[in-house]
Amino acid sequence: MDTPIDFVLIGSPASARTTLFQEALQGAGHAPARVVPYGDLLAGRVALPGFVGPGSVVRIDSPDRDFAVERAILALGAGVADEEGDYARIDPGALATLDDERGALRFPRQWYLGYRELLARIARQLDACPPHRRMNDPAEIAVMFDKPRCHALLAAGGIAVPRGLGVVDSYETLLARMRATGCPRVFVKLAHGSSASGVVAFQIAGARRQATTTVEVVPTPGGVRLYNNLRVRTYRDERAIAALLDALCRHRVHVEQWVPNAGIQARTFDLRVVVIGGAARHVVVRLSRHAMTNLHLSAGRTSGRAPLETLLTRLDRRVWEEARLTCERAMGLFPGSLYAGIDLLIASDYRRHAIAEINAFGDLLYNVWHEGKNTSAAEVAAVA
């Protein structure tokens, strides 16, 4: 049994993430973490110096799907100046009437500004606490949640990433950028989205246009509204594609070259690799019949998993070791973060690889083990 450590968890008390982490602590012989709810931090009802003592270990977890917390983060973001441009916002007075519509894309740029401000507040409060350890760094979480900035950091650090086309402000700007760079196939991603939220796989061939996405465009009297849907859909009408991409651009998007994925079992795949304590450990091979590989899409009808061993029958061990090392080197650019989930692409030639994204909270993997531990248990062990 490890020496007991005082853990403090900033997160959602009722989330599966919290449950798994508390179970990992119990299994390692530690007392349960004292949970600081996001809602209480945002409302000013609590402050971290009241929880963090000498030698405490602090873990910042995801705000999760909590509408009250989301609305409070949006309210915080309403008062933050946007240094990147004029993106869609909701007035603080209108937040009280904002509905918790399932799948609705609710001002992701404003949410990011609010969450970044909250992370800065957390950092200031932690700086006022006695000497302690942190499982992740608030400023690094903010970088991971900003796809253009994270992509630029990785590229500058010599990490293999897809070619970046930058931020675009409209469908016409995107077309011009694709022609100028010679990239007929791209991924358009919300700069601050996750779990395939607001992602469009877009390709052009002469006059033909095709966009594959989870985003549903719904015209309303007040303008176009966007919803995430578990069903992946394909648009071929250029007017519909232009409406979709113009609407996404209002929330800030990041564009990358579409790297053709390798295939296995008659489906394409990518990998989620969780790096913990500098070592690539837990790996999921995510299979798909379309451009998006997230396991929750289409209720699993077009997505699935394969064991890493199945992939290694096709992938040269030396190539896999190089790709694994790339994931570890990428996490070396975030020295204050014990762990993160990395989306790793293997190119169709089975020789090249690239990192598509780094997810600060991408360690939630069910029934995935490394040396007998799930991700939470491995993280606790790495702390000890």
Instruction: Please give the average per-residue pLDDT across 138-142, as a whole number.
Output: 98
Question: Please, which residues have CB within 8 angstroms of residue 325's CB and are 6 or more apart in sequence?
Answer: none
pLDDT bracket for residue 169 (50, 70, 90) = very high
CA distance 194 to 27: 30
Task: Determine the pLDDT at residue 2.
Answer: 59
pLDDT of 303 reads 57
Q: How far apart are CA 223 and CA 247, in angstroms?
A: 10
pLDDT category at 241 given cuts 50, 70, 90 is very high
Straight-line distance from the first to the last Cα atom of the chain, in angstroms, rounded to the nearest whole number: 10
Element at 344 (helix H, strand E): strand 339-346
The pLDDT tens digits for 248-275 are: 999 999 999 999 999 998 899 999 999 9
- Furthest CA-CA distance within the chain: 65
pLDDT mean across residues, the chain: 94
The pLDDT assigned to 293 comes to 67
Q: Is the pLDDT of residue 297 over 60?
A: no
Q: What is the torsion angle, in degrees rounded to the nearest 10, for the CA atoms of residue 282, residue 285, residue 291 and residue 297?
A: -80
The separation between CA 36 and the C-alpha centre of its own chain, rounded to angstroms, equals 22
CB 22: neighbour CB atoms within 10 A?
19
Q: For residue 245, which of 187, 292, 288, 205 has the smallest C-alpha distance? A: 187
Could you tell me which of 251, 254, 292 has the C-alpha nearest to residue 164? 254
Cα(226)–Cα(141) distance, rounded to whole angstroms? 26
Residue (of 198, 367, 345) closest to 286 by Cα position: 345
Q: How far apart are CA 80 and CA 82, in angstroms?
A: 6
CA 154 to chain centre: 15
**Residue 295 pLDDT > 50, yes or no?**
no
How many other CB atoms are found less than 10 A from the CB of residue 172? 12
Residue 206: pLDDT band by 50, 70, 90 thresholds? Answer: very high
**Token couple for 22:** 């508390």
**Residue keyed to tokens 């994925």:** 261
Question: Quick one: angle between helices 171-181 and 238-249, nearest 10?
Answer: 100
Q: What pLDDT, on the 0 to 100 scale, is given for residue 20?
A: 97
What per-residue confidence (pLDDT) applies to 231? 85
CB 146 within 8 A of CB 356: no
Contact, 105 vs 226, CB < 8 A?
yes
Instruction: Name which of 15-24, 91-100, 153-162, 201-210 the model is least confident about.
Output: 91-100
DSSP 336: T
Write out the H or E segment, with its range, that includes residue 124. helix 108-127
For residue 194, what pLDDT is reported?
80
pTM, full prediction: 0.95
Tokens 């009437």: give the residue.
Answer: 97
Q: What is the pLDDT of residues 31-62, one digit of tens each?
A: 999 999 999 999 999 999 999 999 999 999 99
Tell me how far the alpha carbon of residue 63 is from its chain's centroid: 12
Q: Indicate if the alpha-carbon torsion angle 139, 142, 148, 154 is positive or negative.
A: positive
CA distance 59 to 188: 31
pLDDT interval class at 1 (50, 70, 90): low
- Check pLDDT > 80 for residue 301: no
**Residue 176: strand, helix, or coil:** helix
Examine the pLDDT at 8 and tell me if it is beyond 80: yes
* CA pair distance 266, 366, nearest whole angstrom: 24
Lowest-confidence pick of 112-121, 210-219, 299-308 = 299-308
Q: Read off the pLDDT band of 29 (50, 70, 90).
A: very high
pLDDT at 296: 46
Q: What is the pLDDT of residues 70-79, one digit of tens each?
A: 999 999 999 9
Q: What is the pLDDT of residue 229?
A: 83
